[in-house]
Structure 1
Amino acid sequence: MRTRPIIGVTLDAEEPGGYSKLPWYALRKNYFAALAEAGALPMALPHHPELAEAYLDQIDGLLVTGGAFDVDPSLYGGGDTHPTVTLKAGRTDFELAVTRGALKRDMPVLGICGGEQLLAVALGGTLIQHIPDSIRTEIEHEQPNPRHEPGHEVTIAEGTLLARIIGKPRMAVNSAHHQAVATPGPGALVNATAPDGVVEGVEHPGHRFALGVQWHPEYAVDPADPLIFTAFVQACRG
């Protein structure tokens, strides 16, 4: 029996330039560190949609990470693409394939930032393509201060999985997004909201563990952030 559950972690992808003259994968270390500290064995997953099921045969849980890009609005009936939208089709194709596969197996899934938005789309939900065009707010969801500091608070919905994990009604979060979940999908729930009503988290009670948060708990800007990883890893043991 494994002492550490293996958790697949999706990677970001970059075009040539900077680090390499060839296309390359990238991901911040603190995603992996947070999982390892919570008792998991993280495994990076390159973007091969045709291998999604083979990856899922080897892992116990899936972490869908964030990045400076957006889910194609054609995938959720979002209409014309907003000028601010940036796509990474290869990454999204893979993440949708592996996330849908994980959900079909009832494998634990944790979505962070853009991963929360992708989880919502995989669950049949929709997104707001550009918050400033849809919601009047004074909150800067692309916070100007460093990511290792909080940008605002969120309210946790009572009776949700997230509420059971966090154990308090509010927490501080770091926020780095211009899009947000509009609807969480059939059977899914909104579990956290910003003071302006922007959705900050989703989950699906019909799955063993299908949880998404819009912020970055791997930075641990709130004392409750590590609890999310602990609960996720514990679910992956089951």
Structure 2
Amino acid sequence: MKKRPLIGLTLDAEPEGGWSKYPWYALRQNYFDAVNRHGGLAIALPHDSALANAYLDQLDGLIVTGGAFDVDPGLYGEHERHETVLLKEDRTTAELAFLKGAMARDMPVLGICGGEQLLAVALGGTLHQHIPDAFPAGLEHEQKTMHYAPAHEVEILQGTRLHAIVGARMQVNSSHHQAVRRHGHAKINAIAPDGVIEGVEDPSRKFCIGVQWHPEYFVDPGDHALYAAFIQACHE
């Protein structure tokens, strides 16, 4: 039997209070289920930048997850911060260490929502700090319905790795108020009907794809195909 590739998933973090009187990590169960369902073995990664390479030595693939926070605008050269921007600096520092370490090894990487945005920044891109300011007539990208339901369609651009995996169009959920502005060294692979960039990739690497939606909810058959392709790349 083929050994399951070990996939590291970055965790969210909260300070003491609420669920625990001590600082705590958390991540939705369906992130782990999606990996295991498609043949991987999911493990959680704490926010310890000093140990990033030690963890990566054991991993076959990396998923940078999303969350209700934003990438520090200073990381892409902007000194003013929109009033809606919420930072989790320790998380971002750790995720960047994991992401850059994985990319240096050409380890398969999947960035989800905020993870897609961080991937774009790591590849020299910038972000729209608040979509309603940049696209005042745009779609509602923070859907109010359950994330198991689609929010809108995206066009998958021809000639991209994502297009080869999922085809020309997908129905996706949507839970973000920021988006990629300039894509830097990355290649755009998906666009919403209002022009918002919905995915990026680095074609020079074995597997390096970021998507703005949450494929772990399996809204579209393409979400299954994306996970299957990612896990397959982790076997290679």
The TM-score with structure 1 as length reference comes to: 0.97
- Which residue pairs with 2:187 in the alignment? 189
Which residue of 193, 196, 202 maps to 1:204? 202
- Which residue pairs with 1:175 in the alignment? 174
Give the C-alpha shift of residue 159 in structure 1.
Answer: 1.1
- Which residue pairs with 1:227 in the alignment? 225
Where does 1:1-238 land on structure 2 (aligned, <5 Å)?
3-167=3-167, 169-186=168-185, 188-238=186-236
Task: Output the amino acid matched with 2:153.
Answer: E
| Distance in 1 of aligned mates of 2:126 and 2:117 | 8
Query: Is the Cα–Cα contact under 8 Å of residues 8 and 45 in structure 1 kept in the other structure?
Result: yes
The percent identity for this pair of structures is: 63
Give the C-alpha shift of residue 115 in structure 1.
Answer: 0.4
Q: Could you say what secondary structure the match of 2:57 adopts?
A: helix
Give the C-alpha shift of residue 17 in structure 1.
Answer: 2.2
| Distance in 1 of aligned mates of 2:183 and 2:84 | 22
Runs of 4+ aligned residues of structure 1 deviating over 4 Å after TM superposition are: none
| Distance in 1 of aligned mates of 2:75 and 2:104 | 18
Q: Could you say what secondary structure the match of 1:155 adopts?
A: strand
Give the C-alpha shift of residue 2 in structure 1.
Answer: 6.1
Give the C-alpha shift of residue 146 in structure 1.
Answer: 1.1
| Distance in 2 of aligned mates of 1:78 and 1:104 | 26
Query: Is the Cα–Cα contact under 8 Å of residues 78 and 127 in structure 1 kept in the other structure?
Result: no
Give structure 1 stretches of 5+ with no counterpart: none
Query: Is the Cα–Cα contact under 8 Å of residues 6 and 40 in structure 2 kept in the other structure?
Result: yes
